[in-house]
């Protein structure tokens, strides 16, 4: 890593043409961590030059996503900074000026080709099975003065970069090393300024990275093919390019680029499912970086302390949904009951758990108390309403078979539940699980019945299910009276 660079300035430069997804967040996070680790600045720039695909709702989604993730840029459209505007559509005049500068330096030229002509060239090539693609450089040979006259007269035109042919472009990438590209293989004279006066990605990106004094460009490897032509542009302007670091791609388990086919990819989806931002950040930070400490859990702060370009991997990162789930479970268990209850509350309200909108004070207390019971086995926040519903409304009494332990019959089950009923009051009053367990074990022993056989019908009567959060805790939360009532009802049903 270049240590002579004093002022590290990096950026996340999304185009607001879609929801924020894992890949974008990974790019943003790595830039953030790099800036923090170097005492530099992290910048947000909106690359909204594609006017047909840009949408305000995606800008809003970007802000919502980062509010939720709780890591932020130092300069950006919402918080300002000395290098604004940070929105490309507000910088149009600037790009025109710089495109003009390249024309004057004869590093770019006016192109008067219509879309129709370009299409005809494409069709002819297709018919001739030609491997050539891209612009045929038709207008490159027009005398600059003549072209300038035509443009000044208002003839519709674009401005194209004049790629110097017969040369190679060499640049260095921190992860991939030195890369050499034949200019003749670079996108043939790409458009910099469109006929409507809007810049293309290439022009706006290069001009802004320069003007915003970006020191390092860290982004996904899919942008690598653009680098040679960007470097050509930097040189055409007489500017020094920033340093490059292209991050490994994020793949699904099948080795194909991560997409919706593999599962959730937008941060919104993860959020709705009940992922915690800490889990997502922790997992995403390891997508393409290894810290080799035999440690999995890292806070944002710890990541900041450890991040360096040397820890990045070249190989593609594989997105493992199971591992992410594991992280989520870990972070859920780190929450206090109060914190977890607050996080789960919106899901519970949404599921109508409390009848009306907001829980009553008593319902809230129950909700907090139940967190201790479910926390250990929770993977997603959105599992909570279903898991704990039996504490807020009477569960449906399951069919008799559900109550019957292995090798028992209905008569025996009724007997067992009758005993359960006698014990429920005392169990509900035990202060903790250990005492409850000792108590019920002793009772089972005394009566010469298996503990499991005693617990099963009791569990089904109390929770409405064979699989449920811990029984003793549930009894305590419900209290002696409601517990006994539930058992009574179940017994009535079983007796038919
Ligand atoms: N606007 C590009 C994107 O959508 C930015 C690529 C870059 O970082 O240069 O990802």
Nearest atom in ligand 1 to 17's CA: 4
CATH class for the domain made up of 337-389:
mainly alpha
Name the residue of 43, 47, 173 to mutate for ligand 1: max ligand atoms within 8 A of Cβ: 47
Q: pLDDT (tens digit, 9 = 90+) per residue, 13-57?
A: 999 999 999 999 999 999 999 999 999 999 999 999 988 899 999
Name the residue of 25, 48, 223 to mutate for ligand 1: max ligand atoms within 8 A of Cβ: 223
| CA-nearest residue, atom 5 of ligand 1 | 13
Q: Identical fold at 91-247 and 337-389?
A: no
| CA-nearest residue, atom 2 of ligand 1 | 14
Mean pLDDT, the chain, rounded, equals 95
Mean of pLDDT values over 348-374: 92
Mean of pLDDT values over 278-287: 96
CATH class for the domain made up of 400-495:
mainly alpha
Contacts of 398 (CB under 8 A, 6+ apart): 460, 464, 465
Beta bridge partners of 251: 257, 318
Instruction: Ligand 1: list residues with CB < 6 Å.
Output: 13-15, 47, 205, 219, 223
Look at residue 93 in the predicted model and tell me its pLDDT. 96
Among the listed residues 72, 97, 182, 260, the single catalytic one is 260
**CA 13–ligand 1 middle distance (angstroms):** 5
Architecture of domain 260-333: Orthogonal Bundle (1.10)
The DSSP string of 347-409 is HHHHTTTTSSSSPPHHHHHHHHHHHHHHGGG-S-GGGHHHHHGGGTSPPPPPPHHHHPPTT--
73, pLDDT greater than 60: yes
Name the residue of 54, 55, 201, 209 to mutate for ligand 1: max ligand atoms within 8 A of Cβ: 201
Look at residue 418 in the predicted model and tell me its pLDDT. 97
Nearest atom in ligand 1 to 47's CA: 1
**CA 15–ligand 1 middle distance (angstroms):** 7
CATH number of 91-247: 3.90.800.10
Contacts of 394 (CB under 8 A, 6+ apart): 486, 489
137, pLDDT greater than 90: yes
**CA 256–ligand 1 middle distance (angstroms):** 21
| Residue 260 DSSP one-character state | G
- The answer to whether the beta carbons of residues 490 and 403 sit under 8 Å apart is yes
**CA 279–ligand 1 middle distance (angstroms):** 25
Look at residue 135 in the predicted model and tell me its pLDDT. 96
- Confirm whether 260 is a catalytic residue: yes
Nearest atom in ligand 1 to 12's CA: 8
325, pLDDT greater than 90: yes
CA 463 to CA 461: how far, in whole Å? 6
- In angstroms, the Cα distances linking 91 to 14, 59, 203 are 16, 17, 12
The DSSP string of 47-98 is ----TTT--HHHHHHHHHHHHHHT---SBBTTTB-TT---BGGG-HHHHHHH
| CA-nearest residue, atom 10 of ligand 1 | 14
Nearest atom in ligand 1 to 13's CA: 5
Q: pLDDT (tens digit, 9 = 90+) per residue, 448-488?
A: 999 999 999 999 999 999 999 999 999 999 999 999 999 99
Alpha helices (H) along 128-266: 144-152, 201-211, 227-237
Look at residue 320 in the predicted model and tell me its pLDDT. 95
Show me where the domains of the chain are located: 91-247, 260-333, 337-389, 400-495
Contacts of 7 (CB under 8 A, 6+ apart): 40, 41, 213, 215
Look at residue 161 in the predicted model and tell me its pLDDT. 98
330, pLDDT greater than 60: yes
277, pLDDT greater than 60: yes
Look at residue 414 in the predicted model and tell me its pLDDT. 96
């Amino acid at each position: 890593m270049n240590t002579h660079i004093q002022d590290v300035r990096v950026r996340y430069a999304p185009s607001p043409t879609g929801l924020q997804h894992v890949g974008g967040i990974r790019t943003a996070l790595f830039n953030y961590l790099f800036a923090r680790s170097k005492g530099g600045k992290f910048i947000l720039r909106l690359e909204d030059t594609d006017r047909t695909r840009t949408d305000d709702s995606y800008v809003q989604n970007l802000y919502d996503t980062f509010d939720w993730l709780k890591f932020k840029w130092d300069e950006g459209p919402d918080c300002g900074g000395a290098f604004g505007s940070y929105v490309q559509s507000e910088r149009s005049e600037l790009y025109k000026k710089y495109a003009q500068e390249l024309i004057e330096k004869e590093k770019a030229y006016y192109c008067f080709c219509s879309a129709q002509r370009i299409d005809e060239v494409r069709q002819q090539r297709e018919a001739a099975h030609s491997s050539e693609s891209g612009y045929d450089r038709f207008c490159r040979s027009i005398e600059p003065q003549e072209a300038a006259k035509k443009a000044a007269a208002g003839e519709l035109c674009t401005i194209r970069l004049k790629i110097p042919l017969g040369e190679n472009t060499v640049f260095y990438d921190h992860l991939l090393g030195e890369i050499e590209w034949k200019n003749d293989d670079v996108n043939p004279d790409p458009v910099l300024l469109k006929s409507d006066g809007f810049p293309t990605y290439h022009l706006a990106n290069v001009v802004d990275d320069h003007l915003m004094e970006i020191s390092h460009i860290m982004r996904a490897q899919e942008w690598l093919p653009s680098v040679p032509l960007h470097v050509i542009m930097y040189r055409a302007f007489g500017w020094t390019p920033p340093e490059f670091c292209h991050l490994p791609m994020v793949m699904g388990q099948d080795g194909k680029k991560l997409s919706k086919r593999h599962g959730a990819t937008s941060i919104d989806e993860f959020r709705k499912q009940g992922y915690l931002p800490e889990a997502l950040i922790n997992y995403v930070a390891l997508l393409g970086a290894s810290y080799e400490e035999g440690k999995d859990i890292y806070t944002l702060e710890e990541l900041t302390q450890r991040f360096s370009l040397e820890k990045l991997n070249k190989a593609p990162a594989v997105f493992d949904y199971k591992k992410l789930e594991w992280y989520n479970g870990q972070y859920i268990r780190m929450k206090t009951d109060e914190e977890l209850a607050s996080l789960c509350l919106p899901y519970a309200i949404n599921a109508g758990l409390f009848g009306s909108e907001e829980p009553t004070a008593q319902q809230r207390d129950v909700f907090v108390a139940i967190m201790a019971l479910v926390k250990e086995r929770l993977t997603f926040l959105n599992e909570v309403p279903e898991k704990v519903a039996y504490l807020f409304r009477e569960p449906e009494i399951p069919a008799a078979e559900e109550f019957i332990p292995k090798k028992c019959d209905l008569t025996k089950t009724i007997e067992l539940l009758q005993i359960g009923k006698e014990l429920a009051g005392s169990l509900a009053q035990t202060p903790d699980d250990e005492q409850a367990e000792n108590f019920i074990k002793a009772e089972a022993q005394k009566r010469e019945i298996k503990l499991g056989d005693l617990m099963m019908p009791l569990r089904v009567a109390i929770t409405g299910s064979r699989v449920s959060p811990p029984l003793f805790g549930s009894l305590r939360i419900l209290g002696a009276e409601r517990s006994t009532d539930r058992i009574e009802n179940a017994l009535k049903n079983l007796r038919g």
